[in-house]
Structure 1
Amino acid sequence: MGRKARIDQEELVRLAAEGWTNARLAEHFGVTESGILQAKRSAGLSKPMTDHSRALPWKLRREHSQSGPATNLRNLSAVAQGRPVPKDKLNTALRWASRLVGNGLDIAYDPERGFHEVPAGDDSHVARILAEAREAADAAGTTP
């Protein structure tokens, strides 16, 4: 097994600022593009990835992954994590979640049925995600 290639972070920062592609950087440093992406994360050159696992804790079937509820939950999750979401998409997600919470409903998922509305319990999933998104949007001054 060979020695790990050392990527000089100062040089990486300089070359990335010059606009070098990941492929060119990988070739220059003798690593894979994945190695460059890891080095960029370590150097603080890339934003952390958005994690929607709290908003979508289910293993979704492909045909359900782009449904309205999945999209709305992802958009609310992105806002809660400080990511920008187009105003119209945020409005749609907020209206959808507010309607559910206002009617005492929550969302459930079943691979066979897809997403479906259910009576909200004490720990409503949608209410929690909605509250997190509103809090973050209010703090950022982006609440529609």
Structure 2
Amino acid sequence: MGRKAHIDREELRRLVAMGRSNAELAAHFGVTESGILQAKRTAGLAKPMLDHGRAIPWKLKRAHNQTGPATNLRNLSAVAQGGHVPQAKINTALRWAQRLAESGLDVGYSYEDGFYERPAEGASHIEAVLNDALRALEEPGRETAESSDLE
């Protein structure tokens, strides 16, 4: 078993600030990219992971993970948590969720069949996810979608 590589935190901070990629950092320190990611987390240099469990409370079948509804729910969740999402993707997700909410529909999921639209009953899942995203977009200093893009 080899000796554990030492990653100097100050040097890591300096190189990260210079914009070095994880691959470049790994080569520089003689470790794997996974080792760099772990060192960045330990040094407080990594962005916190987003948790989409509230927006996507179902265990998804791999084939359904990249569908439109899954992507839209993840994008709305990322916005609600302060993550960076390109404006065009925000607009797409907002239009989708607003269409459902305004039509009295909600999103459901079946492991066998995937996502489906259903009549909203009681507390609407899509409205909760949409409202979380809209609240985050209204925060001062946050870019907002053009209202004309949402209609």
Q: TM-score, normalised to structure 2's length?
A: 0.79
Question: Residue 76 of structure 1 aligns to a residue in which SS?
Answer: helix
Choose the corresponding residue for 1:142, options 134, 141, 144: 144
- CA distance in structure 2 between the partners assigned to 1:20 and 1:90 by the alignment: 28
Question: Residue 37 of structure 1 aligns to a residue in which SS?
Answer: helix
Question: Residue 138 of structure 2 aligns to a residue in which SS?
Answer: helix
Question: Residue 45 of structure 2 aligns to a residue in which SS?
Answer: coil
Unaligned runs of 5+ in 1: none
The more displaced of 84-93 and 70-79 is: 84-93
| Corresponding residue of 1:113 | 113
User: 1:20–1:83: structure 2 CA closer, same or farther, 3 Å change rule?
Assistant: closer
Taking only the aligned residue pairs, the percentage that are identical comes to 64
| Corresponding residue of 2:39 | 39
Judge conservation of contact 1:79–1:133 (CA < 8 Å) in 2: yes
Unaligned runs of 5+ in 2: 147-151
Within 5 A, what are the aligned runs for 1:60-139? 60-139=60-139
- CA distance in structure 1 between the partners assigned to 2:52 and 2:121 by the alignment: 22
- CA distance in structure 2 between the partners assigned to 1:21 and 1:101 by the alignment: 41
Q: TM-score, normalised to structure 1's length?
A: 0.82
Task: Tell me how far 1:41 sits from its aligned partner.
Answer: 2.0
* CA RMSD, 1 decimal: 2.4
Task: Tell me how far 1:4 sits from its aligned partner.
Answer: 5.3
The more displaced of 84-93 and 129-138 is: 84-93
User: 1:86–1:12: structure 2 CA closer, same or farther, 3 Å change rule?
Assistant: closer
Within 5 A, what are the aligned runs for 1:17-28? 17-28=17-28
User: 1:18–1:133: structure 2 CA closer, same or farther, 3 Å change rule?
Assistant: closer
The more displaced of 23-32 and 105-114 is: 23-32
Judge conservation of contact 1:134–1:143 (CA < 8 Å) in 2: no
| Corresponding residue of 1:50 | 50
Judge conservation of contact 1:7–1:39 (CA < 8 Å) in 2: yes
Q: Which amino acid aligns with 1:142?
A: T
| Corresponding residue of 2:13 | 13
Matched residue count: 144
